[in-house]
């Protein structure tokens, strides 16, 4: 029953949007508060422009041209010698513990110390070897608590 009511309200909003759009400016929006209340979301707008495909494409191009440019994040600086040493320590620790099949509390504490100085990329590399091993059972926790 509720779905039928929501569907009726949406259909009514579409009709109202069409009628309002065909008797006014080229682009007019009609808010449908019943749809907003039913979904508990942000405001929903139904827009009728009367534009054909090429006009709609031109509107989208104009809007995108006004949008601020998105800049790529600058690359990370090269890791320091300390970060590189910590990375090698962490990588070696994780690899040896995967070979042993167990992850001890002391291993977690040693890894925590090492990851404090890692770059983001180094951290991701360590975690991408540690967590799959924990998830697929090649590495088992020997204590209660967080793995890292």
The per-residue pLDDT for range 15-43, each reduced to its tens digit, is 555 555 544 444 444 444 444 444 445 55
Angle at 20 between CA 18 and CA 21, to 5 degrees: 65
Q: Which of 44, 41, 43, 39 is nearest to 3 (CA)?
A: 39
| Model confidence pTM above 0.85 | no
The DSSP code for 78 is: P
Query: What is the tally of structural domains in the chain?
Result: 2
Q: Does residue 46 register a pLDDT over 50?
A: yes
Phi-psi region of 40 (alpha: psi -120 to 50; beta: other; left: phi over 0): left
Percent of the chain exceeding pLDDT 70 equals 67
Question: Rounded mean pLDDT of 58-76?
Answer: 81
Mean per-residue pLDDT, 63-89:
85
Q: What average pLDDT does the segment 122-130 reach?
A: 96
**HSE-up of residue 115 (Cα within 13 Å, Cβ side):** 18
Residue 146 falls within a domain, yes or no?
A: no
What range does the domain containing 123 cover?
81-141
Residue 145 pLDDT > 60: yes
How big is the chain, counted in residues?
A: 148
Q: Are residues 54 and 92 in the same domain?
A: no
Same domain? 92 vs 36: no
Other C-beta atoms lying within 10 Å of the C-beta of residue 94: 22
The band of 140, judged by pLDDT with boundaries at 50, 70 and 90, is: very high
- What is the pLDDT, as a whole number, of residue 60? 85
Are residues 61 and 18 both part of a single domain?
Answer: yes
Q: Which residue has the higher pLDDT, 4 or 58?
A: 58
- State the DSSP code for 95: H
On whether residue 74 sits in a domain, the answer given is: no
């Amino acid at each position: 029953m509720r779905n039928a009511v929501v569907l009726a309200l949406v259909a009514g909003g579409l009709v109202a949007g069409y009628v309002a759009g065909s008797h006014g400016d080229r682009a007019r929006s009609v808010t449908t508060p019943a749809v907003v209340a039913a979904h508990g979301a942000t405001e929903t707008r139904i827009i009728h422009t009367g534009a054909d495909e090429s006009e709609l494409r031109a509107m989208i191009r104009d809007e995108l041209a006004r949008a601020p440019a998105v800049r790529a994040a600058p690359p990370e600086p090269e890791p320091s010698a300390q970060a590189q040493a910590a990375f090698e320590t962490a990588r070696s620790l994780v690899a040896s513990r995967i070979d042993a099949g167990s992850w001890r509390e002391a291993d977690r504490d040693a890894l925590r110390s090492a990851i404090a100085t890692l770059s983001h990329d180094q951290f991701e590399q360590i975690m991408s070897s540690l967590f799959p091993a924990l998830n697929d059972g090649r590495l088992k926790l020997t204590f209660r608590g967080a793995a890292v």
